[in-house]
């Protein structure tokens, strides 16, 4: 299949080329029109959101949803998030919206928060994977909202990566995984947040975080309700069963073996430096993802996740860094441990999954 890469006028072209891809540079309004036509005929269009690029399909079209699972190689028991452009579109997905959900919407939408709502019984099975709830989010990105409004239906959109690869935060990432497998991609540079939305459920009068994201437990508590994390979220407990099916997979996994090293700076740096020497002695390619200062000039590759120890900046850079590790064919990757603060919880969740439990405390 041929994939159309739409580049809005005045945006820079991509630096790499991709197979089965044609480039169309057009005014944004024309791009939205063409992309809407593809979606309306059941094709898939990847588009930018403030979190990561999404792989969009008409959320009410079963065949289009089936194509999403096929293009990504996604397990069929993992439900999708339905994206809306207005509150009136919520009614196309649920007719039992709890008061807390309305309060969350008015406080955090448009933005990186997905809310589980009781699903209308008529919704396609693939959208909810047969679960009683549907996840709904109103993205903040103007292109995402324009596309959904133009289609007139909610758009189901998982992250636009092949299953098991890091989520895409640039159009290059999308095309690396999906060129030739989808109808089109709307290019809009790098995503602002860089990790996926916070996913919450509402149990009685409590908010339960099923997937941590930039909107933290502390942010959610501002509404005055009790907030807790899903007990199945503990990334270091292999027996825990998460409520968001996507949390059980080994997501975001680089091909190299990734280890997170936690401890006081001096010990952590020592441990990583000696790991680098051992890896090199064994003829392995070794890389480091570090937080602030470089101490690793013997590594084959070192990437700074942020100039500061600020979670927003690290979140924005994380997936690109993991993809670079793959591109550079690293065998071994060390990551400096993150500060033990709530604002780093979402990044830690992604990293611990990528590390499959290899967390060393020094
Ligand atoms: O930021 C985001 O959320 C991005 C952008 C494109 O909006 N989308 C995204 O979708 O990350 P995806 O499919 O990669 O992740 C959706 C997560 C999965 O962990 C899935 O299991 C969970 O949300 N989820 C979706 N619907 C659910 C439901 N009805 N019940 C429980 N978990 C659900
Ligand atoms: Mg995903």
pLDDT classification of 222: cutoffs 50, 70, 90 = very high
CA distance 48 to 194: 11
Q: Is 245 in the pocket of ligand 1 (CB under 6 A)?
A: yes
How far is the centre of ligand 2, averaged over its atoms, from the C-alpha of 354 (Å)?
13
Question: Higher model confidence: residue 339 or residue 214?
Answer: 214
Which atom, in ligand 1's list, is nearest to the CA of 211?
19
Out of 125, 166, 244, mutate this one to test ligand 1's pocket (max ligand atoms within 8 Å of CB): namely 244
Average pLDDT over residues 7-15: 93
Is the confidence at residue 348, as pLDDT, over 80? yes
Q: Is 358 in the pocket of ligand 1 (CB under 6 A)?
A: no
- From 222, 231, 213, 188, select the one nearest 114 (Cα to Cα): 213
Bridge partners of 289, per DSSP, are 303, 335
Q: What is the pLDDT of residue 357?
A: 83
Q: Is 275 in the pocket of ligand 1 (CB under 6 A)?
A: no
Question: Higher model confidence: residue 281 or residue 357?
Answer: 281
Please count the CA atoms within 13 angstroms of the CA of 116 that sit on its side-chain side: 20
DSSP assignment of 282-333 equals: TT--EEEEESSS---TTSSEEEES-SSS-HHHHHHHHHHHHHHHHHTT-SEE
Question: Higher model confidence: residue 15 or residue 174?
Answer: 174
Q: Whose CA is nearest to atom 21 of ligand 1?
A: 246
DSSP assignment of 204-237 equals: TTEEEEEE--SS-HHHHHTTSSEEEE-GGG-TT-
Out of 132, 159, 201, mutate this one to test ligand 1's pocket (max ligand atoms within 8 Å of CB): namely 159
How far is the centre of ligand 1, averaged over its atoms, from the C-alpha of 240 (Å)?
19
How far is the centre of ligand 1, averaged over its atoms, from the C-alpha of 241 (Å)?
16
Q: Is 332 in the pocket of ligand 1 (CB under 6 A)?
A: no
Question: Higher model confidence: residue 357 or residue 141?
Answer: 141
> Which residue has 């993802």 as its token pair?
289
Is the confidence at residue 249, as pLDDT, over 70? no
Instruction: Identify the nearest ligand to the CA of 59 by its number.
Output: 1
Q: Looking at the whole model, is its pTM more than 0.85?
A: yes
Instruction: Identify the nearest ligand to the CA of 116 by its number.
Output: 1
pLDDT classification of 236: cutoffs 50, 70, 90 = low
How far is the centre of ligand 2, averaged over its atoms, from the C-alpha of 80 (Å)?
9
Of 45-49, 124-128, 171-175, 347-351, give the lowest mean pLDDT range: 347-351
**Winning range, highest mean pLDDT, from 36-50, 245-259, 300-314:** 36-50
Mean of all residue pLDDT scores within the chain: 95
Roughly what angle, to the nearest 10 degrees, separates helices 311-327 and 171-178?
A: 40
* Structural contact between residues 330 and 285, judged by C-beta atoms closer than 8 angstroms: yes
Q: Is 232 in the pocket of ligand 1 (CB under 6 A)?
A: no
């Amino acid at each position: 299949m041929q994939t159309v890469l739409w580049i809005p006028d005045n945006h820079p072209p991509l630096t790499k080329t991709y197979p089965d891809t044609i480039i169309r540079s057009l005014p944004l309004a024309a791009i939205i029109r063409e992309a809407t036509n593809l979606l309306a005929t059941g094709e898939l269009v990847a588009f930018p959101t403030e979190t990561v690029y999404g792989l969009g399909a008409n959320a009410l079209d079963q065949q289009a949803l089936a194509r999403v699972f096929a293009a990504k190689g996604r397990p069929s028991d993992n439900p999708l998030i339905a994206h809306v452009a207005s509150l009136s579109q919520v009614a196309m997905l649920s007719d039992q919206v709890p008061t807390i959900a309305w309060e969350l919407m008015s406080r955090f939408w448009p933005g990186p928060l997905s809310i589980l709502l009781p699903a209308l019984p008529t919704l396609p099975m693939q959208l909810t994977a047969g679960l009683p709830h549907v996840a709904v989010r109103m993205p903040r990105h103007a292109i995402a909202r324009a596309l959904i409004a133009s289609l007139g239906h909610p758009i189901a959109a998982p992250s636009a990566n092949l299953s098991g690869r890091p989520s895409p935060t640039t159009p290059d990432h999308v095309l690396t995984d999906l060129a030739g497998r989808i109808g089109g991609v709307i290019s809009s540079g790098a995503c602002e947040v860089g990790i996926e939305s916070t996913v919450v459920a509402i149990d009685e009068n409590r908010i339960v975080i099923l997937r941590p994201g930039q909107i933290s437990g502390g942010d959610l508590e501002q509404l005055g309700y009790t907030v807790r994390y899903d007990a199945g979220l503990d990334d270091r407990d292999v027996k825990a069963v998460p409520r968001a099916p996507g949390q059980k997979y080994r997501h975001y996994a680089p091909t190299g073996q990734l280890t997170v090293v936690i401890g006081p700076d001096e010990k952590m740096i020592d441990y990583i430096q000696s790991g680098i020497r051992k890896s090199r002695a064994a003829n392995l390619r070794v890389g480091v993802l570090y937080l602030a200062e470089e101490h690793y000039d013997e590594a084959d590759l070192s990437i700074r996740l942020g100039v500061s120890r600020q979670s927003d900046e690290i979140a924005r850079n994380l997936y690109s860094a993991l993809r670079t590790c793959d591109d550079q064919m690293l065998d071994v990757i060390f990551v400096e441990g993150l500060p033990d603060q709530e604002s780093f919880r979402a990044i830690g969740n992604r990293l611990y999954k990528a590390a499959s439990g290899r967390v060393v405390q020094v």
